């Protein structure tokens, strides 16, 4: 039953995305290549997607220097990559290469990588034990926004696209990243980047629109909640 609901939510989300008119030159409508999906929330299997996770292990050592062992980053400002969707990681890397996402380190890190390297590294990280948050006191305000949004203010319900525990949708839709269990300071930063249009690489700038009317306190509460999942 849950599964059917998830699929329904995925289709609703997709319909919403497709219904949003394409916006200006900053819109990035490239849908990432869909890879074989992980069908377990916390323990992704070693699946063969677009890339080769075994080859990716060696190639990802430099990345692990910042993103933590196997992508379990303990630096609050550096996102965890462990158990993130392969298609999402690869898309971000291609966005850094193309300059449609910018960061002082990451554009330089991405630019020398071949398509094959990038797919292999993405496959490696996506097959690690999925990121998990530190248990903390329940942030009720954050939970409320996450589960119910604020329709009057145009804040869409996060769960529709990111899944109940923020682990994405357990189907082959790799475009919705895992956000549950991600580092809090990174979540705050990237949500503010979306709000200020400093990050504009989501399809049809959907994330920018969703967070537009969130206050700093809303973002703090949401990030606190998501990072605990
Ligand atoms: C010098 C440190 C450093 C190194 C080395 C590094 N990264 Fe990053 N990476 C970062 C930081 C910091 C961010 C957060 C960017 C932001 O705030 O938008 C990031 C962001 C990312 C993201 C976006 C994650 C998301 O959730 O959207 C991906 C994917 C990524 N890095 C992959 C890699 C890969 C693959 C490598 C190796 C080829 C690598 N990184 C090497 C520091 C690093
Ligand atoms: C209609 C679908 C949809 C809804 C609803 C949605 N998101 Fe997203 N979100 C996306 C997509 C697609 C991306 C990936 C953007 C990209 O490719 O760079 C994303 C990316 C993100 C990221 C960046 C993750 C990372 O690792 O950098 C965060 C954080 C996020 N969303 C939080 C939220 C929150 C909080 C809500 C609810 C207030 C929400 N999203 C609602 C579709 C959605």
Contact 42, 79 (CB under 8 A): no
Q: How far is the CA of 16 from the centre of ligand 2 (A)?
A: 13
Ligand nearest to the CA of 188: 2
Q: Is 158 in the pocket of ligand 2 (CB under 6 A)?
A: yes
Residues 6+ apart with CB under 8 A from 124: 51, 53, 54, 56, 57, 59, 60
CA 6 to chain centroid:
17
Point out the ligand 2 atom lying closest to the alpha carbon of residue 201.
Answer: 18
* Residue 181 host element (H or E): none
- Kindly report the pTM of this predicted structure: 0.86
Burial of 197 (0-12, 13-18, 19+ CB in 10 A): exposed
Q: Going residue by residue through the chain, which has 229 residues, state the pLDDT in tens, using 9 for 90 and above.
A: 344 444 444 444 444 444 433 333 333 332 333 333 333 445 455 454 789 999 999 999 999 999 999 999 999 999 999 999 999 999 999 999 999 999 999 999 999 999 999 999 999 999 999 999 988 899 999 999 999 999 999 899 999 999 989 999 876 568 899 999 999 999 999 999 999 999 999 999 999 999 999 999 999 999 999 999 9
| DSSP-based three-state secondary structure for 86 | helix
For residue 155, report the phi and psi dihedrals to the nearest 5 degrees: -90, 105
Which domains are present in the chain? 30-126 (1.10.760.10), 140-227 (1.10.760.10)
Cα separation, 179 vs 227, whole angstroms = 8
């Amino acid at each position: 039953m849950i599964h059917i609901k998830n699929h329904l939510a995925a289709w609703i989300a997709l319909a919403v995305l497709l219904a949003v008119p394409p916006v200006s030159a900053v819109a990035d409508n490239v849908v990432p290549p869909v890879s074989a999906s992980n069908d377990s929330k916390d323990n992704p299997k070693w699946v063969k997607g677009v890339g080769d996770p075994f080859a990716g292990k060696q190639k990802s050592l430099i990345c692990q220097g910042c993103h933590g062992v196997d992508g379990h980053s303990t630096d609050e400002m550096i996102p965890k990559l462990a158990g993130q969707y392969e298609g999402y990681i690869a898309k971000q890397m291609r966005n850094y290469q193309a300059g449609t996402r910018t960061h002082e380190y990451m554009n330089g890190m991405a630019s020398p990588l071949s398509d094959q390297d990038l797919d292999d590294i993405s496959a490696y990280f996506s097959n690690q034990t999925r990121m998990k948050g530190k248990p903390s006191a329940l942030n009720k305000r954050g939970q409320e926004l996450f589960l119910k949004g604020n329709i009057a203010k145009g804040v869409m319900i996060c769960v529709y696209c990111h899944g109940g525990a923020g682990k994405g949708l357990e189907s082959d839709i790799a475009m919705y990243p895992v956000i549950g269990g991600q580092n809090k300071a990174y979540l705050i930063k990237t949500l503010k980047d979306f709000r200020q249009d400093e990050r504009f690489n989501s399809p049809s700038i959907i994330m920018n629109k969703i967070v537009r009317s969130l206050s700093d306190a809303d973002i703090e509460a949401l990030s606190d909640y998501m990072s605990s999942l």
